[in-house]
Chains A and B, each alone.
Chain A
């Protein structure tokens, strides 16, 4: 049997570009959501994981955060918090879910609350620049060690970016463990990790826990 293809960990850095769109209330949010790029929707939902470190219990996307903090409409904020790219699977699907949620909310509650002194919602899109980390592994034990050490942005790049923006279907980790290490069951368990855990560090911990268990079971 040939030696497994090595896995090279890539971290990433995000460059935020401000788009010429903003919303001053919920109706403008509804009107603007169809106009922005998939990259923008991704940046304001899954991309939040790359920017946030301190408050894993806060609303998980920028739309819910803005509606909660700046508009002061907790009901809509809570509903938007449950719109989840990890559940819907693509930026296009999450855009549809966001629009449906705001539309349905406004149809029940009519005139949206005005943002009088708060900050408008500024739409951005991210340019993600991949960065080699120098970690290159060929075995599951090496993978475990590297994953524990590597910059947290590598977890974002290989799990979130790969799966939900680049559309690779499953994470790079699961792909490599299946195809290069020949461990489809472990790859399947890795694939089932819900990225909706609040922070990249927690996401890293979940992966390490599953890999650690597999190592124990395999007597490694």
Chain B
């Protein structure tokens, strides 16, 4: 994608705004460090952002730390512990984290005006930071209740950064360094969110086995307990008493955790209007088609990070009924772009209300798209990063 491609989708003037914001920063070096170049929202955002930042004259690089399979396992456990899921983490595991980061610090070119280190795996790189440049740690998850022993170890490294960035105030632990807030974003030109011709949408839905003969409700998310998939089915059943709708549950099946998917398949065997769709490995265009075909989108996880799945649905002009978990309350404008609910009954009530008042579906959908255009597109995200670069390197 080129910067000019965003003129058609971003708010009026946003691209010129970025050009002017970047102008005094031209030639500055900005390095991102992650543990992987594959999978996940952070990686997707960086993939889209890097060429545009470079086109703006910011010399932006993306470095990956390399470790053994054992290191990958340690990084996963530490990430889960930071996000509040109790783990067994030994001294040897923490030493593996430290040694791998030390190896990578000696190997990677980390001299830059601003180095942004994403999430837990590469966090300890800061221990060997070069003298020049400012370093920022970007914590993407909910770090409000980390496993105490793990946080006590990591915290001593976090405070060696010049600042930390979190997605929400409630996710940010207490720190002695400055903490900034930057919401994540979606790319309107990515496969997940690009405009899609009707013929392509119909072809993809047909291939996935999603019929179009009646309206469907949709939840996107892995088939896990945390997504409250069975709660969504119960909400659908309450709605189904009054409206002839289908429920599409689209997600990945986590290896070794097929229990929920088995439960859903059991329900689907008795009710053909419940439709589990197990997504292929690269599901973005398929998700795009499924979201465009939906009438109302639900996001009802019990616990999540920012939960950016509501935003792609709003971008496709769908009203969203979401739980109060994670960042949904910051993505939705309650009563304008959708509703927040606490219970199965609350979800059913809001869905029924929307189906009974179809003009609201169109109005809320349109408001949602405009809300995303102003606040959750990658152009706003890049402006935030450029503001951070300006502020920290002035």
Q: Give me the interface of A with B, judged by CB distance under 8 Å.
A: 11, 13-18, 20, 22, 53-55, 119-120, 122, 124, 127, 129, 131-134, 149-151, 153
Contact = CB atoms under 8 A, between A and B. Distances in A.
Interface string B378-391: 00000110111011
B333 A15 contact: no
Nearest to B180: A17
6 contacts: A11-B20, A13-B387, A14-B387, A120-B170, A129-B21, A132-B23
Contact of B17 (A16, A20, A151): A151
Interface residues of B, number: 33
Given A54-B337, A134-B16, A150-B13, 13 more contacts: A14-B387, A15-B180, A15-B387, A16-B182, A17-B181, A55-B336, A120-B170, A131-B20, A131-B21, A132-B23, A149-B13, A151-B13, A151-B17
A16 B375 contact: no
Contacts of A14: 387
Nearest to B336: A54
A39 to B, nearest CB: 13
Interface string B30-66: 0000000000000000000000000000000000000
B387 A127 contact: yes
B319 to A, nearest CB: 14
A55 B13 CA distance: 22
Given A13-B21, A53-B371, A124-B169, A18 B180 contact: yes
B209 interface: no
B365 to A, nearest CB: 13
B174 A20 contact: yes
B391 A127 contact: yes
Interface of B: 13-14, 16-17, 20-21, 23, 166, 169-170, 172, 174, 178-182, 329, 333, 336-337, 367, 370-371, 374-375, 383-384, 386-388, 390-391
A55 B337 CA distance: 11
A204 B383 CA distance: 22
Contacts of A11: 17, 20
A132 B390 CA distance: 14
B387 A129 contact: yes
Interface centre among B21, B384, B388 (most CB of A within 10 A): B21
Task: Return the 10 tightest CB-CB contacts between A and B, nearest first.
Answer: A122-B169, A18-B179, A16-B181, A15-B387, A13-B387, A131-B21, A129-B387, A151-B13, A54-B333, A53-B374
Nearest to B370: A54
Given A55-B336, A129-B390, A131-B21, A16 B16 contact: no
Nearest to B330: A119
Nearest to A118: B324
B336 A131 contact: no
A55 B17 CA distance: 24
A122 B170 CA distance: 8
Contacts of B384: 13, 15
A54 B17 CA distance: 21
A15 B172 contact: no
Contacts of A55: 333, 336
Contacts of B182: 16
Contacts of B13: 133, 149-151
B11 to A, nearest CB: 8
Contacts of A149: 13
B333 A133 contact: no
Contact of A17 (B178, B337, B371, B390): B178
A153 B17 CA distance: 10
A16 B330 CA distance: 15
B181 A124 contact: yes
B315 to A, nearest CB: 15
B279 to A, nearest CB: 31
Contacts of A16: 180-182
A131 to B, nearest CB: 5
